[in-house]
Amino acid sequence: MRVRDRGQVAIEYLGFIPILVLVALAGVQIGLIAYAGQQAGTAARAGARYASLQENAQDACTRAVSDWLSVSCVPAFGGDEVTVTATVEIPSLVPGWEFGPATKTATMPLDHTDEELVVP
């Protein structure tokens, strides 16, 4: 080995570090996307449950997700059921990597506890 070749591996490694960091960030970002989708489903189910009881769906959605995520829930009543659409903004780790929001829906039957139950 010649004296001039000393440190060559270190220089090559330093050139490869940005690629390793980018791959690691992409892996974490994929995890964030999946987590936001899961949280949107949880929020939609919680919101639909509360809306079926004539309660505030947005409050239930907000309590159902992690504090650091932004969620909005919109209930839609139709017939004897309610459908809640939850939208969770997907956070981005790298500036310039923008993702659309994760959106999930859940449908629940409306609770009619005020009506008298008729037993045949």
Q: Which pairs with CB-CB distance under 8 Å and at least 24 residues apart come from 69-73? A: 69/36, 69/39, 71/39, 71/40, 71/43, 73/43, 73/44, 73/47
How high does pLDDT run on average in the chain?
88
In this prediction the pTM is 0.79
Range of the domain at 7: 3-109
Q: Convert the pLDDT of each residue in 2-47 to its tens digit.
A: 666 677 777 777 888 989 998 999 999 999 999 999 999 999 999 9
> Would you say residue 41 lies in a domain?
yes
Q: What's the confidence (pLDDT) of residue 13?
A: 79
Number of domains within the chain: 1
> Would you say residue 117 lies in a domain?
no
Q: What's the confidence (pLDDT) of residue 115?
A: 54
